Amino acid sequence: MSKIIFIHIKVLRGNFFILISNQYKKLIFNKSCGNLGFKNMQKRTKDAFQNLLSLSLQYLLNLSTKNKLFIKIDAAKKVVLNQLHNHFINVLKSYKFDVFAITLINKVSHNGCRKSYFRQ
């Protein structure tokens, strides 16, 4: 019986996060570029994301390739979101994972109901 594994890739301004949870929404893997030893500006590099991706793929391979994956990619810029989506999906296809669904979330920052503040 195949299980559903939830993968949440979160891109913040200064760091990358990968969260993996099981079908009961229990967190089973939680890593960031900061956890891997990258500091300051190094956390935003492509090399840092590659290391984080390879570590998470090793964990997924240890679980099973028969699991169905639900992927949620969270980023602020649409260009970064599309690049991550294409790169991550190509890697998963090469390992023959069964991708159940993909959700792309483009967060648009807003100021809420307050008037914008300008310095004078």
DSSP letter (8 states) at residue 19: E
DSSP letter (8 states) at residue 52: H
Assessment of whether the complete model's pTM goes beyond 0.85: no
> What pLDDT score does 44 carry?
73
Arithmetic mean of pLDDT over the chain: 80
What are the tokens at 27? 């967190």
> What pLDDT score does 111 carry?
61
> What pLDDT score does 53 carry?
84
Query: What residues contact residue 2 under an 8 Å CB cut-off, 6+ apart?
Result: 64, 66, 67, 68, 98
> What pLDDT score does 79 carry?
79
Name the β-bridge partners of 106: 75
Distances (CA, A) of 72 to 37, 41, 117: 25, 25, 33
Distances (CA, A) of 15 to 39, 83, 90: 10, 16, 22
Kindly list the structural domains of the chain, giving each domain's residue range(s) and its CATH number in brackets, ordered by start: 4-106 (3.30.420.80)
Nearest-angstrom CA–CA distance, 94 and 98: 11
pLDDT category, 114, cuts 50, 70, 90?
low
Per-residue pLDDT tens digits for 64-90: 767 888 888 888 777 777 887 888 788
Given a cut of 80, whether residue 35 has pLDDT beyond it is no
Greater confidence, 112 or 98?
98
Per-residue pLDDT tens digits for 86-104: 887 888 888 888 888 888 8
